[in-house]
Amino acid sequence: MSTLKIKIESGRAKVDFDLQHLVSAFSLPNKLRTDSSYILVPGFLDVHVHLREPGFSYKETIKTGTEASAHGGYTAVCTMPNLKPVPDSLETLKIEEDIIAKDACIHVYPYASITKGEKGDELSDMEDLKDRVCAFSDDGVGVQTEEMMLKAMMKAKELNKMIVAHCEVNELLKGGYIHDGEYAKAHGHRGICSASEYMEIARDIELSRKTGCRYHVCHISTKESVELIRKAKKEGVHITCETAPHYLLLNDSMLQEAGNWKMNPPLRSEEDRLALIEGIKDGTIDIIATDHAPHSLEEKSRGLEKSPFGITGIELAFPLLYTGLVKKGIITLDKLIDLLVVNPREIFGIPYDGFSVWNLDEEFEVKEETFLSKGKSTPFIGAKLYGVNYLTVCNNHIVYEKEEGNN
């Protein structure tokens, strides 16, 4: 009988799980004992998800969102604060905390907003909130003024908390909704320029340098962003960043006239995509997060222009990245685990809490009906991927188990 292990060793973490022992502990199918295509990995952490509750439960709930996360092998998620009400005080945060305590099947770490109501005018109750949240973010909108971001970073530094920034200069958007590239020009769409992202990153790098605040950049998508962050890291700025699977695997030449191709930031050029690949290979990009952003079917049926920004992603992230990057020899499996497990847990200070069991040789087709999320909108419908999750365990409890015939 073979003993299957995956071990991660670095100066930051050591994780060693023995699948043979777990077969007995969790009554796993006997075939897992001997089939070398099965591996066990520590629970993934997604530092950027939208669980939509409170306020938008028709899109997603804490229950459906965490069930979808467990399906994807995630045992912990950090959920963004663009909710109703926005968690900008202990009173509004408690509404979200109560739902998490009642309905979540995995660990959920909420963000609090940087500013009241994410309006950019007044800081949230950061001191009161600091021990109850993973970090501060106004995700969905950029903090538009340098003065407000400076105040936020100074306060976050004082509290030893991280600022997590959605970087977007509103005055440069000009009503755009896809990348300002060849597809937009050819099809008469309004484009979003790359500068709308990287100019705010450049501003915030200088503020982080000035204040010493730990600064994390959300979902970078442009080659200029990669280069700015690479340079800042070499200069000792306390900066980390993430990108998402779709920016690593797709570009704007692949766009279709459908809402499931619309996200913010948008899919960029092939040159940008290749720069992001280099960024994950050389360590400039620390984390791959999904920006799981479910919407209703009706909302996402309005085409590129009128559909809301955002796609679902947490159930497909590992198979997409394993198929598109590891199997093609672009990065190793160990590197992928660093990006999904080791780095996010180190940067956000979130402990290891479980594992998942995958068959890497098993292929499946992406179908809407297999999603546990309420959101079904993704550009990857119909894709053939490798990697099927058979089991997710969080805090010694089975939170997902594959049913016969389902992926």
Are 43 and 73 in contact, with CB atoms under 8 Å apart? yes
Element (H, E) at 184: helix 182-187
Q: Please name which of 48, 57, 118 lies closest in space to residue 89, comparing C-alpha atoms.
A: 118
Structure-block tokens of residue 258: 């459908």
- Find all residues with CB under 8 Å of 130, minimum gap 6, and list them: 159, 160, 161
Mark whether 46 is an active-site residue: no
> Left if phi > 0, otherwise alpha if psi is -120 to 50, otherwise beta: which for 291?
left
* R_g over Cα of the chain: 20
| Angle (CA) 384 51 165, round 5° | 95
Element (H, E) at 217: strand 215-217
Going 87 to 93 to 95 to 100, the CA torsion angle's sign is positive
Are 230 and 201 in contact, with CB atoms under 8 Å apart? no
Q: Which residue has the tokens 């009173």?
A: 91
- Find all residues with CB under 8 Å of 341, minimum gap 6, and list them: 8, 15, 41, 42, 43, 44, 45
43, HSE (Cβ side, Cα atoms, 13 Å): 29
Are 57 and 295 in contact, with CB atoms under 8 Å apart? no
Structure-block tokens of residue 194: 């790359």
Q: State the maximum Cα–Cα separation within the chain, in Å, rounded to a whole number.
A: 63
The type of residue at 284 is T
230, HSE (Cβ side, Cα atoms, 13 Å): 15
Pairing between β-strand 191-192 and β-strand 107-110 as defined by DSSP bridges: unpaired
Q: Please name which of 253, 195, 250, 203 lies closest in space to residue 223, comparing C-alpha atoms.
A: 195
The type of residue at 28 is L
Catalytic residue among 88, 139, 204, 291: 291
Pairing between β-strand 354-365 and β-strand 38-42 as defined by DSSP bridges: antiparallel
Residues assigned a catalytic role: 291
